[in-house]
Amino acid sequence: MRSALVLFQISWQISETSRGLVMTSIILAGGKSSRLGRSKALQLIGDRSLIQRVIDRLAIISTEIIIATARGEEITCSSDVRVRTVADVHPGKGPLAGIQSGLIASTDSRAIVVSCDIPFVSVSLLEYMSGICSEFDVVVPQIGTKAEPLCAVYSKNCVAPISELLKRNELKIIRLFPMVRVRYIEEDEIDRFDPDHLSFFNINSQDDLDRARTLATEKGWLLRSG
């Protein structure tokens, strides 16, 4: 009888956690790519663009994927999950405006938010964050004192405070955190899913892109599943 109860409790806990695992994902692709000199989203690692690699990973845990771009321009990609593009409500205001635009368009109350240039983002880490987000407005990794706000989960409760920040032209995402309920994912938690912290490897320059291509080759991630 006790074994049956334990199994029921485990099953219930898994079910409860799983409710947070499938939600909207938002990809921020509205940057100017000024350091690279061309669109980061469309740069190739193997036979796939950066944004396609991000989409392929997010599709595992997403009901829909929203791509937030400056003017709503379409980006070539494919997925079994519905993908749609939205324009920044406040173009030129950076990632904070992209987060707001994506949250407004989201069909879910919470959404995973990532930038288009982190091709090695850990699905397991995103699953973990989305599984514990129900009591918070932001769930964000933090390494030391540095938060990683472009690999995080945000709720629609963030839309109003983001509007206030944009009105004041305060564009740093971390300005949002004192205004909402935040759960920081500490380094020991991150290490359980992504010990090399490659989820936060983002591409800003040609050197970064070259390193990403080398890393993908060394890790065997040029295959479709990588």
In terms of Cα–Cα distance, which of 164, 144, 153 is closest to 90?
164
Question: What per-residue confidence (pLDDT) applies to 16?
Answer: 37
Question: What per-residue confidence (pLDDT) applies to 185?
Answer: 98
Looking at the structure of the chain, the number of domains it has is 1
Coil, strand, or helix at residue 27? strand
Tokens 């109860």 appear where?
5
pTM above 0.85, yes or no: yes
- Tell whether 109 is covered by a domain: yes
Q: How large is the angle between the packed helices 50-58 and 123-131, nearest 10 degrees?
A: 50
Cβ(143)–Cβ(192) below 8 Å: no
- Tell whether 15 is covered by a domain: no
- The pLDDT confidence band at residue 31, using thresholds 50, 70 and 90, is confident
- The pLDDT confidence band at residue 188, using thresholds 50, 70 and 90, is very high
Cβ(68)–Cβ(27) below 8 Å: yes
Name the pairing type of β-strands 138-143 and 182-185.
parallel
Render 151-191 in DSSP notation, one character per residue. Answer: EEEEEGGGHHHHHHHHHTT---GGGGGGGS-EEEE-HHHHH
211: its two tokens: 């390193």
- Tell whether 74 is covered by a domain: yes
CATH of the domain at 130: 3.90.550.10
pLDDT digits (tens, 9 = 90+) for 49-72: 999 999 999 999 999 999 999 887
DSSP state of 133: -
- Tell whether 5 is covered by a domain: no
Question: What per-residue confidence (pLDDT) applies to 1?
Answer: 41
- Tell whether 91 is covered by a domain: yes
- Tell whether 7 is covered by a domain: no
Domain range for 51 is: 20-219
- Tell whether 1 is covered by a domain: no
- Tell whether 44 is covered by a domain: yes
